[in-house]
Structure 1
Amino acid sequence: MSPNVGSAMTALIDRVSQLVRRSDTAPGALLPGTARSTVASDARGNAWTPRGSDGKPLSNEQQAEVADLQQTDRRVRSHEQMHINAAQGIQVSGPHFDLQDGPDGRRYAVAGEVEIDTSPGRDHHETLWKARAIQVAALAPPDPSAQDRAVAAQAARMEEQASSALAEQQARQARVSRHYRSSSAPTLLSTYA
């Protein structure tokens, strides 16, 4: 086998591995130990019918429930991913999902959360930056939850406190600087004395 073919095979294997890993996290993906739903055609080869984990066809109500769960799963995962994408370097963990079993035997995300580090920074400047970044991350989804808004409000208070502390620190530094400039400036009298 030539080196080019070997490297092409390695690249192909890597790509397939990535696709397999990505499909494991797809909405409605099966988790270890969960049943697999099946689809089958009837004896005449008509359209595929979704089946439950017991192999029986799903009723119309069950199919509607699966469709609702799939939509909720996509919305929840997208919502949490928006928080992560907007985190701008803030320490986050997650996402963590609350899962519900569907009539098709799959598990769907029905709620989720991403934990964001809301501790103050090492100094007022960092705290100010971090508070603003937390607000952006918390309000990133177009439909922020009550918890998202509460985190953003907490970060707004943190921003206000850091801004006040920074202004106070800068005013103090300006007073000290003026004091030293005025007391250390040589006067005409002291120069000739």
Structure 2
Amino acid sequence: MTLTARPALSGLPKRHGAMTLDLVAPGPLTTIAPYAGKVEAVSQTLEKAHGLVLPATGTLTTSRSTSLQWFGRDMWLLSGVTPGAGLSAHAALTDQSDGWAVFDLTGPDGAAVMARLTPVDLRLSACPVGTAIRTEAEHMMVAITRTAPDNLRIIGFRSMAKSLAHAIETAMERVAAG
């Protein structure tokens, strides 16, 4: 039997008004959970292998096509690269690549769109570039990062990708309609 990878859903990008929703292929996704007392060792190993240190709670760091974001208590998500050698000696690593769908919501009204779906204030003044949040959107658990002034990256469970995309697109339509 041959297994073939398929995208989480089709039909994207979607555009409404000045907003675009698109599916992103971030490369490998790996959660990193440092063993007790190993946070500093994990950070040093990541810096040596990828040029990134563990970001503070609620933040994101990037280097070229690699990003590292806070993903919950004592957990970070490494995107775009397979973890470097030696990291598994200091942390539990779990490949999450097939478990998540990653969307970019681009345009000036991203916060207004997401205000219809999540209780978090995503305006640029409250959510500057480099912010990483875990919350819910339309009753689905998501991670949201601000990667640019006009871009929100939304990570949701792959099994709910179609529902999440539909909810975001509906909110986009409502914002575009005024």
> Relative contact order: is structure 1 or structure 2 higher (C-alpha 8 Å, sep ≥ 6)?
2
Q: Which has the higher helix share?
A: 1
TM-score if structure 2 supplies the norm length?
A: 0.24
* Rg (Cα) greater in structure: 1
Given the two structures, how large is their TM-score scaled by the length of structure 1? 0.22
